[in-house]
């Protein structure tokens, strides 16, 4: 299974399209729109406020170096599962939280539900503690909680019934924070999760996982299932190439909370915004 290229349409004010980046393999699309260019770091809410309208089924990744917000559109099932890889402490969980924050802000609970497995549930308690955000929460469990395996089984059954012809209904964004914990699951749960990584996006179950670069070499069986890759700072060129599946990522030069994606013609770098609504720094 090949890794997808991420396709970008840069859309300026009044939806003026710039040339689309295309691949010889398949067409992926991430739509970027903005009515404002700003040199100030702004939070998720402020970046999304600059986009009118926000494309359906899209997630905010961050802010590009030119100040434009960068969105990934999930409408194409061939995009498959999405992997975020970098060294510990460089922003894996923050990237996942930015994506979740944007999904909640731009959808209703009838359109998107969020399911999360993590080694640190406390890092995600803001969702369950907020009455409005809690409406989006399908489940939040530690990897070592017995309910984690029931959640995987439930989402696998949901995806299977949709493949058999049941109406698709609500999309599910399934967050796997610290994929390194996957091997602690039972054999049956691992089989179900592997199936979801391969086929979930065809049934509206979008899996987004994160993994530590230093441990990636031992998880090739899992990494190969992710078609779309996002990488943060990775000191080792060998590890970066494994995570990116494209040579030349040069991830050692990235700052904390900076990430890089392959656009089909080159690597695009962007920075993670703070969560929430307020601007955090004046010029």
Question: Would 43 be classed as within a structural domain?
Answer: yes
- Checking if the pLDDT of 283 tops 60, the result is no
Residues 64-119 have pLDDT tens digits of 988 889 998 887 777 899 999 999 999 999 999 999 999 999 999 999 999 999 99
- State the pLDDT at residue 42: 85
Please give the span between the terminal C-alpha atoms of the chain, in angstroms, as a whole number: 46
Report how many domains make up the chain. 1
Residues 126-168 have pLDDT tens digits of 999 999 999 999 999 999 999 999 999 999 999 999 999 888 8
Question: Would 280 be classed as within a structural domain?
Answer: no
Q: What is the DSSP string of 149-213?
A: HHHHHHHHHHHHHHHTT----SEEEEEES-GGGGGGS-HHHHHHHHHHHHHGGGGTEEEEEEEEG
d(CA 191, CA 4): 23
36-64 mean pLDDT: 79
Question: Would 1 be classed as within a structural domain?
Answer: no
Question: Would 2 be classed as within a structural domain?
Answer: no
23-44 mean pLDDT: 44
User: Looking at residue 234, which CATH number applies to its domain?
Assistant: 3.40.50.300
By mean pLDDT, which of 36-40, 224-228, 237-241 is the weakest? Answer: 36-40
- State the pLDDT at residue 3: 44
- State the pLDDT at residue 278: 65
Residues 181-234 have pLDDT tens digits of 999 999 999 999 999 999 999 999 999 999 999 999 999 999 999 999 999 999
Cβ-based neighbour number of residue 263 at 10 Å: 17
Question: Would 55 be classed as within a structural domain?
Answer: yes
- State the pLDDT at residue 29: 34
- State the pLDDT at residue 248: 66
- State the pLDDT at residue 41: 60
Question: Would 148 be classed as within a structural domain?
Answer: yes
3-state helix, strand, coil in the chain (%, to 5): 35, 25, 40
List the domain range (segments joined by +) for residue 31: 8-271
Question: Would 57 be classed as within a structural domain?
Answer: yes
Question: Would 25 be classed as within a structural domain?
Answer: yes
């Amino acid at each position: 299974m090949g890794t997808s290229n991420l396709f970008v349409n840069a859309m300026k004010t009044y939806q003026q399209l710039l040339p689309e980046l295309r691949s010889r393999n398949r067409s992926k699309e991430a739509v970027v729109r903005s009515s404002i260019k700003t040199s100030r770091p702004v939070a998720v809410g402020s970046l999304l406020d600059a986009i009118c309208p926000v494309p359906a089924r899209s997630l905010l990744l961050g802010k590009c170096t030119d100040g434009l917000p960068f969105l990934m559109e999930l409408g194409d099932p061939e995009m498959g599962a999405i992997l975020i890889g970098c060294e510990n402490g460089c922003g894996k969980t923050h990237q996942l939280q930015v994506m979740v924050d944007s999904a909640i802000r731009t959808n209703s609970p009838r359109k998107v539900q969020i399911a999360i497995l993590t080694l640190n549930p406390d890092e995600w308690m803001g969702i369950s503690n907020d009455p409005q955000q809690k409406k989006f929460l399908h489940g939040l469990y530690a990897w070592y909680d017995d309910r984690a395996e029931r959640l995987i089984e439930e989402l696998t059954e949901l995806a299977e019934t949709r493949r058999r012809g049941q109406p698709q209904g609500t999309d599910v964004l399934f967050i796997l924070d610290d994929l390194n914990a996957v091997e602690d699951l039972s054999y049956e749960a691992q089989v179900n999760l592997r199936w979801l990584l391969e086929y979930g996006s065809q049934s509206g179950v979008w899996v987004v996982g994160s993994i530590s670069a230093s441990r990636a070499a031992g998880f090739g069986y899992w990494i190969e299932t992710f078609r779309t890759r996002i990488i943060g700072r990775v000191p080792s060129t060998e590890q970066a190439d494994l995570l990116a599946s494209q040579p030349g990522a040069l991830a050692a030069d990235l700052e904390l909370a900076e990430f890089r994606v392959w656009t089909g013609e080159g690597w695009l770098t962007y920075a993670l915004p703070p969560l929430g609504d307020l601007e955090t720094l004046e010029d």
